Amino acid sequence: MTAHTDVFAALGDPTRRTVMREVSTRGSATATELAVPLGVTRQAVAKHLAVLADAGLVDARREGRETRYRPTPAPLGDAISWMTEVGGAWDERLAALERQVARRRARG
């Protein structure tokens, strides 16, 4: 449905954002790997990773007895598109207003 909601909501939590950054910089990570450095339980990290996976930001893959998560930052592009679109609407509005002001000023 609205993938944007999932992505923004996923990134709305600071711990989850740290998880995402960590997975990205490491290239891959597991829940137990990140639990200690993040100061939370493994289950908490697993939940965060599940949310990130639901948003399509990471990809889970079972390898033997551990499940490694790798970043799939494609949805970030969609989120950026939304932002630039909304920001762009405002910019257009601003530009239109400026044109109008310029016209009025030209008329006197």
Partner DNA sequence: CCTTTCTGCAACTGTTCGGTTGCGCTTTTC
Partner DNA sequence: GAAAAGCGCAACCGAACAGTTGCAGAAAGG
Residues of this chain that interact with its own copies (CB under 8 A) are: 2, 4-5, 8-14, 17, 20-21, 24-25, 27, 71, 73, 76-77, 79-80, 82-84, 86-87, 89-90, 93, 97
- Say how many C-beta atoms besides its own lie within 10 A of residue 9's C-beta: 14
CA gap 1, 32 in Å, rounded: 31
Distance in Å, CB of 18 to its own copies, minimum: 10
Q: Where are the alpha helices (DSSP H) in the chain?
A: 3-11, 14-26, 31-38, 42-54, 74-107
Distance in Å, CB of 92 to DNA, minimum: 24
Q: Is 3 in the site for DNA (CB under 7 A)?
A: no
Q: Which of 82, 69, 67 is nearest to 6 (CA)?
A: 82
In the list 23, 48, 57, 58, the residue contacting DNA (rule: CB under 7 A) is 48
Q: Is 31 in the site for DNA (CB under 7 A)?
A: yes
* 2 secondary structure, DSSP code: -
Distance in Å, CB of 10 to DNA, minimum: 8
